[in-house]
Amino acid sequence: MPVKSRGGSSNMVPRTVCIVRLSALGDCCHTLPVIRTLQDAWPDTRITWIIGSTEFGLLGSIPDIEFLVLDKSKGFNALRELRRTLRNRRFDLLLHMHPSMRANLASLQVTADRRLGFDRDRARDLQWVFCNEQIEAHNRQHVMESLFGFAEKLGVVQRSIRWDIPLSDQDFEFASQHTPADRPFVVISACSSLMRGRRINYRNWLPERYAAVADHAADHWQVGVLLTGGDSKEEKAIAANIVGHCRNQPVNLVGKTNLRQLLAILSKASALICPDSGPGHMATAVGTPVIGLFASTNPDRAAPYLSREWLINEYPGALHAESGLSVTDAKWGKRIHSPKAMDRIRVEQVTATLDRLLSD
């Protein structure tokens, strides 16, 4: 018989749920509150999450979710390993929350009675072929809103906007050792991934402008400034460029943190300044406000979920300059592939927003 869920609806509560969401960091951060919502509504349901190896590095310490890691560097061997792991297992419900061909192939390794995916318009890479049910169709939603469509389809409408990513004492100790003890600090995460699929993705702002903002924060607010980022040559070069333009030398931690150490640092920060990138959504997960710099992607779709009041949004102008289209007329999620798009963001816009945020 149907069981009354804590989400306020009458639905058969599944005993086991398998979720496919492999990447990216930001999208996995968007997925976690949906899982928390289901856990709160269905406390006895066992959740298994098939996830990418990088994303596991951030979320894998969560104790009440079973993670199965799909390492894309292993190619088809990763799928074979997943098939062996899931042999003789059947789930009541599969939530296929990642419309991509790799995720489709991962979903084939899952035996489930119900296979719920995106509606036809959002089910990229033939996802509908791999599912037997779809969520309701909606246009022009934020990514997290679209993912909450899975909970709503299952009758769970009371949301739990929480992440609760556990961090170790060692993670917090690292953060304490590398952040100012005597004053607040602001983090700048300057880089976003250069490639999106096969196309160059221009989401990075100019280093000299980041440096001007860093100097403003240090001079006007007497706060510390930290630079964070990955271990790539590009990110290290951009960080060195920022440092070279600064009068007040920031602490350069680019390439020196893992994801959980970074999350611990973000949890202590007064603010994060970044383009459209994973760290913005990580900061959201620990309640740190984000000044998001958007010109090449639409913040209505991808902004840090709890920080939309701090957005710098030059996307409409960049979109019109490249295509002649308005945001209303353009395809939802359209990206701007111009290296000049982010130049539209001025230092004065960012410093004024930082002033407003820190004064609050």
pLDDT computed for residue 360 by the predictor: 84
pLDDT computed for residue 73 by the predictor: 95
Six-digit token string for 317: 């102008």
pLDDT computed for residue 297 by the predictor: 96
How do beta strands 91-96 and 16-20 pair?
A: parallel
Question: What residues contact 103, with CB distance under 8 A and at least 6 apart?
Answer: 20, 21, 22, 96, 127
pLDDT computed for residue 104 by the predictor: 98
Class of domain 169-359: alpha beta
Q: Which of 3, 47, 2 is nearest to 21 (CA)?
A: 47
Q: Which residue numbers in the chain have pLDDT < 50?
A: 1-10, 197-198
pLDDT computed for residue 68 by the predictor: 98
**CA-CA-CA-CA dihedral for 284, 287, 290, 294, to nearest 10:** 20
Q: Which of 95, 265, 94 is nearest to 177 (CA)?
A: 265
Q: Can you say whether the dihedral through the CA atoms of 49, 55, 60, 63 is positive or negative?
A: negative
Six-digit token string for 20: 């496919």
pLDDT computed for residue 216 by the predictor: 98
pLDDT computed for residue 269 by the predictor: 98
pLDDT computed for residue 12 by the predictor: 86
Q: Catalogue the long-range contacts made by 102-109 (C-beta closer than 8 Å, 24 or more residues apart).
A: 102/22, 102/70, 102/72, 103/20, 103/21, 103/22, 103/127, 104/129, 104/130, 105/79, 106/20, 106/22, 106/50, 106/70, 106/79, 106/82, 107/20, 107/131, 109/79, 109/82, 109/83
How many CA atoms lie less than 13 Å away from 174 in the CB half-sphere? 18
Question: What is the spatial distance between Cα 163 and Cα 148, in angstroms, rounded to a whole number?
Answer: 14
pLDDT computed for residue 11 by the predictor: 63
Neighbouring C-beta atoms of residue 210, cutoff 10 Å: 29
DSSP-assigned letters across all residues of 124-184: TTTGGGG-SEEPPP-SS--HHHHHHHHHHHTT--S----------HHHHHHHHHHS-SSS-
3-state secondary structure of 312: strand
DSSP 303: S
Q: Which of 211, 190, 209 is nearest to 253 (CA)?
A: 190
Pick the CATH number of 3-153 from 3.30.210.10, 3.40.50.2000, 3.40.50.300, 3.50.50.60: 3.40.50.2000
3-state secondary structure of 321: helix
Q: In the chain, where does the domain assigned CATH 3.40.50.2000 lie?
A: 3-153, 169-359
